[in-house]
Copies of this chain bind each other. A is one copy, B any other.
């Protein structure tokens, strides 16, 4: 186990009806609130009205930024920063999924920064201050509701990048599983893949002597596998939605499940270059890329992949080598993604190899990626080839 620091100050209010505590929570931070949300599904569902009611109960002055996109855009972030400045915003309330929360984090940091917010994404500056934010989560996937990370896309340059800061952890997040009942099937599927992929990025590690962390990772994967089909069969299954929601939050939780382990994150980088150009859902991209990455890297540590096969997928190890088990575990992962309806190949989106060179170049722009196996540009291209 490596040395580590861990600090996750986000307060969680979990369960049906916890929205009734929203006003009280926001009230701790001020009156001028920027309300950030997406394409309007919260209006259809009635959530928008319930949120405004809570905000009006504390006499808040509400400014709105709507229309945050999946793969949220730098242009939206800049709009939000301007609103914060023009309206002396005290607090940012994100109502939505990971895209809305990620955009809100970038707005929170950008509003307190004199330069261009893209500097944080481009690693030219570190966040020194940020407005406080809170979230009402409507989609289980990114874990952004309880971490300090954000991913933003610059569509002028087709660059999708991330930044992280302890200063943008939400002060609170309201997690009501019933607010995810209306999430469409394909977005639910993408959320399942995203959550499991977050665990993969942490679990496949070369760090030794981390038995608790490995088991915590396996716990989330097993729970997701057990609950995924129940959620898809009945989107209003409270227990299954609640289990998925808590799995999603713990899966990417400031490192909770993998403290002291080297993380990988190459697959996320490899996927980001796909969605930065083709604007496909992040979870769908991960479903395509991850099994390819697994096949390409498993020989760096077949024993970890063998453990994955046995503990997570329940594959009988009798008479099998680590390599055989590893391949069976990867096959089980691919089969599971296919069973829940996630795409397996780039051709599903009619994506060919014509941009592979550019995408691979951009993926390694800061140097080789990953830690389980260091990947250079040619490795990344090979993984794209495996994903065709």
Contact = CB atoms under 8 A, between A and B. Distances in A.
Contact of A212 (B1, B16, B246): B246
* Max chain B Cβ within 10 angstroms of own Cβ: one of A8, A208, A247: A8
A18 interface: yes
A243 B15 CA distance: 32
Interface string A225-243: 0110000000000010011
B14 A242 contact: no
A5 B12 contact: yes
Contacts of A319: none
A359 to B, nearest CB: 35
Contacts of A6: 11-12, 14
Contacts of A260: 14-15, 242, 246
Contacts of A259: 12, 14, 246
Interface in A238-258: 239, 242-243, 246-247, 250
Interface string A1-31: 1111111111111111110000000000000
A344 to B, nearest CB: 27
A211 interface: yes
A303 to B, nearest CB: 16
Contacts of A3: 14-18
Interface in A188-217: 208-209, 211-212, 215-216
A220 interface: yes
B1 A5 contact: no
Nearest to A12: B6
B222 A215 contact: yes
A1 B219 contact: no
A6 B170 CA distance: 13
Given A6-B12, A7-B12, A18-B3, A226 B211 contact: yes
Contacts of A211: 222-223, 226-227, 243
Given A13-B5, A17-B3, A215 B219 contact: yes
Given A14-B259, A14-B260, A243 B212 contact: yes
A4 B11 contact: no
Given A209-B242, A216-B216, A243-B211, A11 B5 contact: yes
Interface of A: 1-18, 208-209, 211-212, 215-216, 218-220, 222-223, 226-227, 239, 242-243, 246-247, 250, 259-260
Given A1-B246, A4-B14, 20 more contacts: A1-B15, A1-B243, A3-B14, A3-B15, A3-B18, A4-B12, A5-B13, A6-B11, A7-B11, A7-B12, A14-B260, A209-B243, A211-B223, A212-B219, A212-B220, A212-B223, A212-B246, A212-B247, A215-B219, A216-B216
